[in-house]
């Protein structure tokens, strides 16, 4: 797993095992009562089912006769003004600039503060700004004397600078947050305006609200006297006829989520006052409706994203419906009146899918529940910077790069009771560079978040760099996060941590099971690692059973010590190694079985059979004679995986002592007993989740347990017990798991790596793709550290991506594993590089063929926001071998930002290897249409081979055909002013090899009817630009569709005949790419030739 930009990846134990650091949750290290997962009587009945959770929402502190609340408000508007460009507006820039010389620049920020009661006392107000460009001074915060607007204010009409509010102390260091107290300027609800100015000639740039990951935020803390109405626990609405939704098949049916499920006929109302309820119906709704009843439902997520919602409001999506994302939730509820996004009706959970982040939570005190968020090109649900006190509760998340991504600056959120299954898409997956990453169920960049009672399975994917990759919960830079009571099944790793900012993260009472060959429990690192040190990770009372041949427990390397990792009361079974540390650390009272222990055991740790129940059937309970019973140490936690009391007298000696592992023997659940005969599809509302106090941990808060009653354990070196294998969830597409190996994969395929002996986990300055053999691990009663371990992999640090214009797909189809996007060139508007007909089956360029390297060099120099591959990526057949040998070394470097046609002619030749290579970057399935948004533009990719009856997907592109109907629906439901369509075969062409394709006439007529601006094609190996035309090929400068044929990607050139009607420019002797700059209401085009050639063509057009 690669802990990289969003989650950087470590050297693996190719054996490099991985470890994580998590904080204690609370200064005392004591967790509050957790929502208890289901006890064993429920497990068999819930195989294949998931529970819909009853939700408690009390996100406040109470002390001294008052209840205290904290809310984070993102900027509502921001811009900057510049005296040397006095009439220029910078409202859409991704930075806020302050400078004194050579130009005077001043930044303006407005926050809209809402939800603070009239009787509240505001205790603090903190302005937070992210430094994009460093300076020796951070500037000052001033009042604003006058009105202004983000999109109209310039230097000439800017308001006057008012009195100083605060000085932002110290220098501004790049990629850091600056905070300052602005309490004097915040008096309650309403607009709050600030100027940011500086007296320094060394200007400072901060992220603007257009830079969504690093936008300005205002954090306000206030208190309300307890005589005021107190917050009421809120329940999550389920909707009439809500039913449990099939999820992963848990090991033996172990399902976290809570006993006591009972049938509920309809939505559970809020316990307190509730606002309006709105309904969304993708079939019968209309965005012009009021939305306040099922018969007057809205239709689109766009309506929900932009509508004004008040605290306490609910928006319910109709079950069995499917919506294209993104759904953006930027509103603010309150502690006693959260805003809820849920479902109603009967049937399957409502689906939100599509490229990009499908659901983007930007606000505060929001509940997102009972959605099926799937097949998203990045996060299923993203909790964005500045989002606080939100609850992601009881959703089904599948097929994403990250099921849930909590961004840097997002804090105090709860991820509870979700089913995260087969989130196994890679964000970056390219040969070489040690930069692969992805397949995250949960990715945490933020602080003080809680991940609890989730069922997580199948985060495991093929990786060129590492063989396999993925993690149930990955932490990169996050602090004080609390991960507990989760069930994790068949993930490549349970967790991995990186970035020296990460610290104080805690993992407790998780049940981790894997039969994959190379699974690892946790990986963390010390100060000798480029992504360390990761301080104060705590592993407490986890039960880990891994049966794969190369499975490993924890890894703490590159300077492990007691400040890096603390372990207590864990049970870890693994075949190859139960653990590795390159130095002594804070480890004691743990129980290990199976593989080699390459670390110094604590005085009370043991190597012995833990004597678990029937693991194959999902029973991880301790037998009466287990050496784990009553032999742990009190670490301040009060409930086990099932919610049972801790400690409990498990051996009948009259003394209650903590057990090791996630199950306290003989303890009784704190929840009501489960029903005796629950059905797997019954409507379920499990017992309430009680908020935990743990997300307030401070650095170094992990208490050091004091051994009291546990007797010394005698190591039993003869024990070699491992738990039996258990059935695992059915994976969707990942290749078979194999031991970490030297990968010989060809592009796009999931090869079978050649296994090599497992190296000892460590890392070196220079990574080697081939693991160095180490001796076969053997059991040792008194293990000691392996001296000078052999390095295996070293990740290359990459800065977190700047969320400048990036593809934001919005269709029902999902283009693929969206890698880390490349920032747009300066200027803000997205830039596209497009071409088709690219790679020869040869690396030797000729004058008229095989120039793929030259065109790749050209694309690299343009550094576009996105690359559109217009079909026929590889000649003459798109086999995995050809793609790996010719396309991948040239254009493969842009795979992270390439969007391919839904199929070109030669793309179909190769037994599907073309789609294995491009994956969902070529559509949600082989030859399937898809669409997405880029900047203000809507982009559509079509399979034009429906016009070829001889083709496997052929038949007809005529009106009424499946492709026609899909295109018509997509054009109808997306109202962007500017639209671009790309497919492979040209509707109009002067070429003599293929010419115009009349089978696409109805498609083209649709484009014309809906006011599409541009059609890009390939197939004919030439460049040709047409004037705007109507569906019949007649000139229509007012509303016609302009087609550009760009078959100049490198393969060869074709002959051309006499230019046909409305052909304005034709060239069949030059290789190059089309550069398109997509403005909000217009576009610029330029054909850019390869080095040594001179033909070019350029111009501009307006959107209709």
Tell me, what CATH number does 998's domain have?
3.60.21.10
pLDDT exceeds 90 at position 755? no
972-985 pLDDT tens trace: 988 889 999 999 99
Residue-wise DSSP of 644-689: BBSSB--SSSS--BPPSSS--TTPPBSSPPPPSS--TTS---PPPP
For residue 631, is it within any domain? yes
| Enclosing H/E stretch for 369 | strand 366-369
More confident residue, 694 or 543: 543
Peptide bond into 553 cis (omega under 30): no
1047 Cβ contact list (under 8 Å, min separation 6): 835, 836, 837, 870, 872, 1017, 1018, 1019, 1020, 1021, 1022, 1023, 1054
Residues 9 and 92 in one domain: no
pLDDT exceeds 70 at position 806? no
Ranges 536-545, 837-846, 943-952, most confident: 536-545
pLDDT exceeds 90 at position 819? no
Tokens, residue 323: 């919506």
CATH code of 173's domain: 2.60.120
Show which of 176, 206, 225 is a domain's final residue: 225
Residues 947 and 1077 in one domain: yes
More confident residue, 766 or 1076: 1076
Q: What is the mean pLDDT of residues 128-152?
A: 92
Q: What is the pLDDT of residue 67?
A: 67
Q: What is the pLDDT of residue 1041?
A: 97
Q: What is the pLDDT of residue 1076?
A: 97
Name the band, by pLDDT with cuts 50, 70 and 90, for residue 911: low
Residues 794 and 941 in one domain: no
Q: What are phi and psi of 860, to 5 degrees?
A: -60, -40
pLDDT exceeds 80 at position 1084? yes
Q: What is the pLDDT of residue 643?
A: 82
pLDDT exceeds 90 at position 40? no
For residue 662, is it within any domain? yes
For residue 824, is it within any domain? no
For residue 141, is it within any domain? yes
Residues 656 and 731 in one domain: yes
Ranges 50-54, 71-75, 810-814, 910-914, most confident: 71-75
Q: What is the mean pLDDT of residues 434-445?
A: 90
Name the band, by pLDDT with cuts 50, 70 and 90, for residue 202: confident
Q: What is the pLDDT of residue 253?
A: 32
Q: Are the C-beta atoms of 572 and 592 separated by less than 8 Å? A: yes
Average pLDDT score over the chain: 76
Show which of 759, 784, 800 is a domain's final residue: 800
Residues 941 and 1042 in one domain: yes
Helix 1001-1009 × helix 962-973 angle, to 10°: 10
* % pLDDT > 90, the chain: 52
pLDDT exceeds 90 at position 316? yes
Q: What's the domain range around 736?
A: 1-26+253-257+417-703+716-800
Q: What is the pLDDT of residue 598?
A: 94
For residue 794, is it within any domain? yes
Residues 473 and 528 in one domain: yes
For residue 619, is it within any domain? yes
pLDDT exceeds 60 at position 9? no
Q: Are the C-beta atoms of 182 and 168 separated by less than 8 Å? A: no
Alpha-carbon distance 607 to 781, whole Å?
7
Alpha-carbon distance 99 to 197, whole Å?
7
For residue 605, is it within any domain? yes
Q: What is the pLDDT of residue 211?
A: 79
Q: What is the mean pLDDT of residues 1087-1103?
A: 95
Name the band, by pLDDT with cuts 50, 70 and 90, for residue 800: very low
The single-letter DSSP state of residue 632 is S
431 Cβ contact list (under 8 Å, min separation 6): 464, 465, 745, 747, 888
Position of tokens 């994917």? Answer: 461
Residues 1037 and 1088 in one domain: yes
| Residue among 203, 208, 201 nearest 108 (CA) | 208
- Mean pLDDT lowest for which of 311-315, 561-565, 945-949? 945-949
Residues 497 and 456 in one domain: yes
799 Cβ contact list (under 8 Å, min separation 6): 5, 175
Q: What is the mean pLDDT of residues 482-493?
A: 96
Name the band, by pLDDT with cuts 50, 70 and 90, for residue 962: confident
Residues 868 and 977 in one domain: yes
Name the band, by pLDDT with cuts 50, 70 and 90, for residue 889: very high
* Chain mean position to CA 866: 19
CA dihedral sign, ordered 672, 256, 320, 312: positive
Residues 623 and 697 in one domain: yes
Q: Are the C-beta atoms of 454 and 256 separated by less than 8 Å? A: yes
- Mean pLDDT lowest for which of 282-286, 480-484, 766-770? 766-770
Q: What is the pLDDT of residue 914?
A: 74
Q: Are the C-beta atoms of 6 and 466 separated by less than 8 Å? A: no
pLDDT exceeds 90 at position 224? no
More confident residue, 49 or 186: 186
More confident residue, 53 or 137: 137
- Mean pLDDT lowest for which of 153-162, 532-541, 719-728? 719-728
Residues 957 and 1007 in one domain: yes
* % pLDDT > 70, the chain: 74
More confident residue, 103 or 743: 103
Residues 794 and 863 in one domain: no
Alpha-carbon distance 950 to 930, whole Å?
23
Q: What is the total count of domains within the chain?
A: 3
For residue 340, is it within any domain? no
* Chain mean position to CA 209: 20
Q: What is the pLDDT of residue 921?
A: 84
Q: What is the mean pLDDT of residues 900-906?
A: 78
985-1007 pLDDT tens trace: 999 999 998 899 998 999 999 99
Name the band, by pLDDT with cuts 50, 70 and 90, for residue 910: low
């Amino acid at each position: 797993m690669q802990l990289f930009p969003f989650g950087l990846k470590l050297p693996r134990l190719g054996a490099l095992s991985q470890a994580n650091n998590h904080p204690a949750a609370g200064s005392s290290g004591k967790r509050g009562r957790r929502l208890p997962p289901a006890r064993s009587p429920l497990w068999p009945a819930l195989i294949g089912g998931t529970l819909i959770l009853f939700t408690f929402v009390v996100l406040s502190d109470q002390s001294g006769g008052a209840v205290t609340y904290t809310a984070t408000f993102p900027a509502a508007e921001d811009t900057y003004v510049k005296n040397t460009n006095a009439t220029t507006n910078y409202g859409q820039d991704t930075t806020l600039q302050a400078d004194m010389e050579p130009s005077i620049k001043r930044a303006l920020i407005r926050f809209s503060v809402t939800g603070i009661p009239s009787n509240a006392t505001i205790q603090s107000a903190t302005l937070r700004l992210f430094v994009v460009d460093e300076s020796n001074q951070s500037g000052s915060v001033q009042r604003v004397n006058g009105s202004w607007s983000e999109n109209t204010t310039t230097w000439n009409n800017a308001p006057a600078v008012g009195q100083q509010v605060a000085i932002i102390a110290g220098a501004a260091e790049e990629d850091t947050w600056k905070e300052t107290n602005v309490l004097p300027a915040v008096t309650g609800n309403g607009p709050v305006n600030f100027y940011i100015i500086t007296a320094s000639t060394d200007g400072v740039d901060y992220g603007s609200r257009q830079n969504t990951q690093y936008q300005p935020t205002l954090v306000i803390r206030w208190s309300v006297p307890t005589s005021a109405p107190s917050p009421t626990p809120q329940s999550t609405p389920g909707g009439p006829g809500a039913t449990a939704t099939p999820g992963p098949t848990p090991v033996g049916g172990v399902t976290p989520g809570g006993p006591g499920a009972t049938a509920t006929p309809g939505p559970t109302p809020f316990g307190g006052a509730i606002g309006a309820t709105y309904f969304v119906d993708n079939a019968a709704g209309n965005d012009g409706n009021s939305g306040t009843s099922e018969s007057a439902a809205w239709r689109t997520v766009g309506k929900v994203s932009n509508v004004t919602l008040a605290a306490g409001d609910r928006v319910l999506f109709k079950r069995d419906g499917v919506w294209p994302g993104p759904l953006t939730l930027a509103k603010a509820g309150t502690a006693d009146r959260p805003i809820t996004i849920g479902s109603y009706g009967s049937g399957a959970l409502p689906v939100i899918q599509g490229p990009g982040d499908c659901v983007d939570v930007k606000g505060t005190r929001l509940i997102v529940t009972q959605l099926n968020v799937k097949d998203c090109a990045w996060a299923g649900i993203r909790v964005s910077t500045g989002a606080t006190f939100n609850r992601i509760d009881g959703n089904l998340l599948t097929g994403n790069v990250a099921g849930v991504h909590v961004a840097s600056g997002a804090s105090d959120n709860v991820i509870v009771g979700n089913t995260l299954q087969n989130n196994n898409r890679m964000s970056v997956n390219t040969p070489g560079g040690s930069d692969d990453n992805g397949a995250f169920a949960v990715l945490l960049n933020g602080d003080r978040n809680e991940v609890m009672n989730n069922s997580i399975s199948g985060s495991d994917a093929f990786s060129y760099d590492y063989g396999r990759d993925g993690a149930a919960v990955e932490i990169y830079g996050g602090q004080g996060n609390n991960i507990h009571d989760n069930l994790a099944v068949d993930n490549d790793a349970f967790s991995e941590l990186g970035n020296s900012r990460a610290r104080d993260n805690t993992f407790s009472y998780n049940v981790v099971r894997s039969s994959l060959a190379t699974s690892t429990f946790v990986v963390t690192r010390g100060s000798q690692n480029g992504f360390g040190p990761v301080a104060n990770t705590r592993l407490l009372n986890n039960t880990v059973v891994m049966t794969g041949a190369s499975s490993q427990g924890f890894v703490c390397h590159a300077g492990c010590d007691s400040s890096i990792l603390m372990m207590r009361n864990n049970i870890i079974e693994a075949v190859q190694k139960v653990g590795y540390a390159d130095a002594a650390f804070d480890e004691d009272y743990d129980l290990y079985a199976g593989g080699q222990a390459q670390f110094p055991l604590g005085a009370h740790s043991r190597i012995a059979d833990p004597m678990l129940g029937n693991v194959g059937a999902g029973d991880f309970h301790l037998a009466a004679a287990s050496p784990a019973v009553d032999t742990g140490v009190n670490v301040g936690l009060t409930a086990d995986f099932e919610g049972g009391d801790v400690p409990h007298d498990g051996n009948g000696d009259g003394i209650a002592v903590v057990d090791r592992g996630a199950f306290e023997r003989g303890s009784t659940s704190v929840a009501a007993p489960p029903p005796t005969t629950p059905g797997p599809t019954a409507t379920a509302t499990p017992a309430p989740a009680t908020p935990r106090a743990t997300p307030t941990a401070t650095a170094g808060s992990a208490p050091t347990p004091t051994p009291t009653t546990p007797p010394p354990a005698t190591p039993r070196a003869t024990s070699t017990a491992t738990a039996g294998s258990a059935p695992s969830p059915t994976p969707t597409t990942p290749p078979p798991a194999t031991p970490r190996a030297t990968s010989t994969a060809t592009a796009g395929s999931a090869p079978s790596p050649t296994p090599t002996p497992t190296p000892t986990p460590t890392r070196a300055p220079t990574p080697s793709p081939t693991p160095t053999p180490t001796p076969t691990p053997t059991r040792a009663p008194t293990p000691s550290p392996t001296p000078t371990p052999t390095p295996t992999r070293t990740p290359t640090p990459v800065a977190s991506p700047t969320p400048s214009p990036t593809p934001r797909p919005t269709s029902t189809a999902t283009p693929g594993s969206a890698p880390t996007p490349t920032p747009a060139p300066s200027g803000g508007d997205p830039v596209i590089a497009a071409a088709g007909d690219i790679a020869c089956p040869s690396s030797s360029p000729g004058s008229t063929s095989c120039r793929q390297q030259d065109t790749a060099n050209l694309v690299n120099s343009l550094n576009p926001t996105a690359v559109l591959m217009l079909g026929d990526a590889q000649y003459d057949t798109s086999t995995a071998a050809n793609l790996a040998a010719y396309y991948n070394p040239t254009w493969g470097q842009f795979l992270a930002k390439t969007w391919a046609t839904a199929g070109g002619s030669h793309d179909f030749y190769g037994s599907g290897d073309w789609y294995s290579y491009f994956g969902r970057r070529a559509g949600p399935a082989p030859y399937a249409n898809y669409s997405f948004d880029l900047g203000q533009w809507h982009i559509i990719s079509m399979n034009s081979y429906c016009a070829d009856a001889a083709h496997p997907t052929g038949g007809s592109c005529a009106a009424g055909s499946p492709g026609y109907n899909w295109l018509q629906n997509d054009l109808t439901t997306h109202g962007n002013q500017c639209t671009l369509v790309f497919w492979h075969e040209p509707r109009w062409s002067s070429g003599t090899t293929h010419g115009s394709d009349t089978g696409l006439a109805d498609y083209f007529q649709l484009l014309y009817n809906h006011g599409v601006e541009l059609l890009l094609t390939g197939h004919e190996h030439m460049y040709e630009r047409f004037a705007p035309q109507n569906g019949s090929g007649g000139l229509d400068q007012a509303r016609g569709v302009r087609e550009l044929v760009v078959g100049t990607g490198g393969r060869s050139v074709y002959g051309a005949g006499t230019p046909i009607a409305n052909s304005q420019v034709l060239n069949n002797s030059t290789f190059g790419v089309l550069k398109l700059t997509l403005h909000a209401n217009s576009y610029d085009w330029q054909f850019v030739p390869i080095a040594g050639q001179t033909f070019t063509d350029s111009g501009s057009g307006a959107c209709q």
